[in-house]
Amino acid sequence: MFFQIVINIFEIIALVSGTMYVMKFKDEVLSRYFVYFLLFTVFVEIVFGWMPTAIYYLDSLKGLEHYFLLNNNNWIYNIYDTISFVFFLFLFTSLFNSKKVRKIGFLFTILFLMFSIFNLVTSSEFFNAIVSLNFIVGSLLLLLYVIYFFFQMLFGDQILDFYKTLPFYIGIGVVIYHLSSTPIFIYSKYFSETKSPDFTKVYEIIITTANIFVYTCYTLGFILCSRKNKSY
């Protein structure tokens, strides 16, 4: 519960910072959509992230414990992960300078979406754990997109002002987050709190640290870029 509260605090800080940023730079469409995504993330985390805990501890909600979709949130996070990957893939693809690479990026994003939906429908993990195959494929694709974006900045004019670009901070955040969280998500389905309390503690620490890092990157990006000219 403590770790979830900490994560929620950093998510809300990033959302507030982003809201202030888009109010200042209203013509930055990608930034505005990114803030919408953060708002969606906070909604999912607050409502569905806390729903099983609220049902367990609040007597007024005890009657909901028989509703599996409310008492279990693995399904909503599997859907959220797919939406998250597709959003970030589209975001970075739209930043590619080459039209040919953009078309390829959009094509692979759509193929990933179709693959993820099929896998969610057919996977036995949907209600029980993170659908690991979706997470692995999505993480690999996202890493490739972000790396290409960084190389594009490195060999372009943006290298001189990389610290002024909001996508740079977003890219750093998502790369580190997925590099650190993907292995722990893959193995989490093989352990439980009752059978493997030590793994559960490690899991919570790593996931919390990764979330703190990614949302701190977002917040710093909003703050630092708001002091400069337009971020991109």
- Map the chain to HEC letters: CHHHHHHHHHHHHHHHHHHHHHHHCCCCHHHHHHHHHHHHHHHHHHHHHHHHHHHHHCHHHHHHHHCHHHHCCHHHHHHHHHHHHHHHHHHHHCCCCCHHHHHHHHHHHHHHHHHHHHHHHHCCCCCCCCCHHHHHHHHHHHHHHHHHHHHHHHCCHHHHHHHHCHHHHHHHHHHHHHHHHHHHHHHHCCCCCCCCHHHHHHHHHHHHHHHHHHHHHHHHHHHHHHCCCCCC
For position 153, what pLDDT does the model report?
87
Q: What is the residue extent of each domain of the chain?
A: 2-226
pTM of the full structure: 0.90
For position 232, what pLDDT does the model report?
44
- 17-67 pLDDT, tens digit each: 999 999 988 888 999 999 999 999 999 999 988 877 777 666 666 666 666
Q: What is the mean pLDDT of each run of 10 residues along the chain (232 residues)?
A: 89 96 89 96 91 70 63 88 96 94 96 96 85 92 95 77 85 94 77 67 89 96 79 44
